[in-house]
């Protein structure tokens, strides 16, 4: 039976890499897929992983009907055996409904990849709808790590190395951006609550206030 599967995890846990691997495995067996993405770090119409792998994809614009796109492609003689959706958290809830319809009406497996919560620990609308509709939810097994070595469970937005908790829900960035730019960092819950990024931890370790004082 075809399924709508939601692969979730924090940033930097290998979601896009797995999406590319699933596509590779199926194409090696003669299957043809359609890949949708939104706001990928490599630019419009790309699916990329931090390992340096990149493939072409269809940019899922906010007003795009994903179901209609598939129907139009199939009606014109195109082929589609499965669908991959990366950065699925950025999709509108109605687009997630369209993915479910692709599974139910067209009989295609849909593999959606995305993070569940934003930098404020609030659910993305697209991820929330996926959790409501998915036949199966898979937590990525490759654990991203906080700077302290604990399992990272939260995504933090940073500017100049400092964590921010206000702003638009969607600002495209990456975990590898220079510190002075808008970037992201994965943290454990404890350090996310304390707004303690790796840069803040380094600054604290270098502060004279926390260095041992030699007594005369």
Q: Which helix (H) or strand (E) holds 48?
A: strand 46-48
Query: What are φ and ψ of residue 75, in 5° steps?
Result: -70, -20
What is the distance between the alpha carbons of residues 82 and 69, in angstroms, rounded to a whole number?
13
C-beta separation of 106 from 74 below 8 A: yes
What is the distance between the alpha carbons of residues 5 and 66, in angstroms, rounded to a whole number?
16
Question: Is residue 87 among the annotated active site residues?
Answer: yes
Which residue blocks in 5-116 are alpha helix, DSSP H? 15-27, 66-75, 93-106
C-alpha neighbours within 13 Å on the C-beta side of residue 164 = 16
Q: Is the dihedral of CA 102, 70, 42, 18 positive or negative?
A: positive
Among the listed residues 87, 143, 162, 180, the single catalytic one is 87
Q: Could you give the dihedral angle defined by the CA atoms of residues 128, 131, 133 and 134, in that order, rounded to the nearest 10 degrees? A: 140
How far, CA to CA in Å, does 188 sit from each of 78, 83, 147, 197? 45, 32, 8, 10
Residue 172's nearest CA partner among 18, 37, 78 is 37
Provide the annotated active-site residues. Answer: 87
């Amino acid at each position: 039976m075809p399924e709508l599967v939601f692969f979730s995890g924090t940033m930097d846990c290998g979601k896009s890499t797995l999406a590319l691997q699933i596509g590779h495995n199926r194409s090696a067996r003669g299957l043809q897929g359609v890949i949708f993405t939104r706001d990928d770090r490599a630019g419009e119409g790309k699916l990329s992983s931090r390992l340096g792998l990149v493939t072409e994809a269809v940019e899922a614009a906010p007003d795009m009907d994903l179901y209609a796109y598939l129907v139009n492609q199939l009606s014109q003689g195109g082929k589609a055996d499965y669908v991959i959706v990366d950065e699925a958290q950025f999709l509108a809830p109605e687009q997630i409904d369209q993915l479910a319809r692709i599974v139910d009406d067209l009989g295609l497996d849909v593999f959606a990849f995305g993070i569940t919560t934003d930098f404020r620990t609030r659910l993305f609308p697209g991820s929330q709808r996926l959790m409501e509709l998915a036949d199966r939810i898979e937590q990525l097994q490759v654990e991203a790590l906080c700077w302290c070595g604990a399992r990272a469970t939260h995504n933090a937005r940073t500017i100049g190395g400092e964590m921010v908790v206000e702003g638009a829900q969607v600002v495209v960035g990456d975990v590898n951006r220079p510190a002075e730019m808008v970037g992201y960092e994965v943290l454990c819950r404890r350090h996310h609550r304390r707004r303690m990024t790796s840069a803040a931890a380094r600054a604290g370790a270098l502060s004279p206030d926390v260095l041992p004082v030699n007594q005369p």
